[in-house]
Amino acid sequence: MTTTGIYCRDGCPGRPKRRNVIDFTSPVAAEAAGFRACLRCRPDRLPSAYAVDGAPSVVARALLVIGEGGLDDDREEEIARRLSVSSRHLRRLFLQHIGATPAFVARSRRAHFVRRLLDETELSIAQIAFAAGFSSIRQMNRVVRETFRATPSALRAKRLRNDRLVADGGLPLRIPYQSPFSFAASLDFLRRRTIPGVEAVGADAYRRTITTCGNPGVIEVTDAGDGRHLIVVGHLPTFEALIDDVARVRRIFSVDQPAAMWLPQLMGDPLLAPLIAARPGLRPLGAWDRFEVAARIIIGQGVSVPAASTLAGRLAQALGTPVTGVSEFGLTHVFPPAQRLAGAGLAEITGIGVPESRATAIQALARGYTASEICLDPSVTLGRLLEQLTALPGIGPWSAHFIALRAAGHLDAFPAEDLGLRRAMSRLLGREEETMVSTKELLERAEQWRPYRAVAAMHLWASLQAD
C-alpha cells in the first residue's frame, strides 16, 4: 500500500483502497521497492520461491544457486560467470523478472532467516547473526532494520506465543512450502535409496548425519501436518551457518520448485494424469550433499536398488567418519567427502565389493569435483553437465541424467535407459514384458513432457512402488 509503505499477501484482512495498491510478483520485489512486510498477514513467511512465469531459465537457475548461499561468499560477477552470462545481463534479467538484483535477493534471504530464528527459537542475537551467515552483529542489525524497519530485539519482542517451537533435544525450525506437497511420497522414494548408517527413513521422518563447520551432527525432518510447513530439528555442534543447513533440507525435498510449475502441462497427458492425480505433491527430490548422491548413483549402475544401498553403506563405513551417540537414530557415519575418495587407493573402494569400473568412475568424478572442473549445481545447464559427466570413464547417459536430476536439480533430466521407467511406461500402455517399451520409444513419448521430464520420471517410478 503506497499510503503506509506496507506489503501484504492476498487475503490479508486489511482492506485498502484499490488506487493505493501496487501489485508485486514476490515479497522480495516489494522490499526492493521500499515496502515492509505487514505484521498481520506476514507475507514474508511465504516460501522463498521468487521465480515468475515467463522468467528465463538462467534466472530460475540463479535463484536456486542464491537460495543455497551462492552469494554469501561470491560476488555477482562470479555467479554470472558460472551461469555463462555477464553480470550486467544477469542484473538486468533479475530487475525485469524478479524486481530486485541478485545481491538484494541474497540479502533478503538472510534477513528473513533472521526473522524466522527470532520468532521460533531462543537463540541469542549473536548466535542468530552467525547462523544466518552474517559476518557481524552490526551487519545483521543494519540489514534487518533496512528490511523490516525494526531492530532484531524489537522484532523478537513482537513475536506471538504460537510462533515459538519448543525444543525437545535439538533446535526445531519450520520450513514453509507451497501445496500440493506430499511428504509421504517423498519418504517412499528416499526410503528405497537410503545409505545405511548415513540416512534413515522412518514411517514419518527422514534423518541423516551431516557435517557442520567440520564437526558431525544430525538433522531430522518431519511434516508439520498443517499443509504448509516441514519441521527440521538440528542436533548440531554449532549453529553457525545454520542458514546453509536449512537450504540443504529445502534442496532434498525440492521445496523451492513447487508443483504448480508443471501440473498444468503434465496433467494434459492422459497416461500421466492418473499417476499425478494420485500423488499431485510428488516432486523430483534432491540431495543434502551433491557428491554423495552422485557417488550413490554410480554405485547403482547395473545392480538393484537394495544392492546399491548396501554397497554405499559399506563405502560410508569403510571410508567415512564415525559418528557416536546417535545410534538410536540408526546412524553411524558421515559419508566420505569427495577429497577423501579422490585420494583413496582403488583397492580401498573395490575391497568392499564395488566393481573396479565403478570405483574408477567414482574417483574420476571425485577428482573433477574437488578440482572444480565439474560443478553439480543448477548454475551449469543440463546439456553442459551431461557432456562433462559422460566424458568421465564409466559414466553413461543413465548415470549422467540421474545425477543431473538428484544432484543438480535439473527438471528436464530423464534417464530414459532406466529399466524401471521403461517397465512403468509399458504397463501404462498395456504391454507385456516381451514387448517392453524401448529407450527410443520412451524418449519420443517424453518429448511432450519437456521441460519437466524429471517430474514425469518420478511419477513413473512411484507407480511401480504402488504394486
Catalytic residues: 8, 418
Alpha-carbon distance of 302 to 433, in angstroms, equals: 19
Residues with Cβ within 8 Å of residue 338, at least 6 apart in sequence: 291, 365, 366, 369, 370
Please spell the DSSP secondary structure of 338-382, one letter per residue.
HHHHHHS-HHHHHTTT--HHHHHHHHHHHHHHHTTSS--STTS-H
Long-range contacts of 71-80 (CB under 8 A, 24+ apart): 71/102, 71/103, 71/105, 71/106, 72/106, 72/110, 72/133, 72/244, 76/101, 76/102, 76/103, 79/379
| Geometric angle at alpha carbon 190, from 187 and 193, rounded to 5° | 150
Residue where the block lists cell 551432527: 217
34: phi then psi, degrees, rounded to nearest 5: 100, 10
CB 51 within 8 A of CB 411: no
Q: C-alpha cell of 416?
A: 530414459
Alpha-carbon distance of 421 to 437, in angstroms, equals: 9
Of 331, 401, 397, 394, give the one whose Cα is nearest residue 366: 394
CB 71 within 8 A of CB 101: no
- With H, G, I as helix, E, B as strand and everything else as coil, classify residue 408: coil
CB 204 within 8 A of CB 212: no
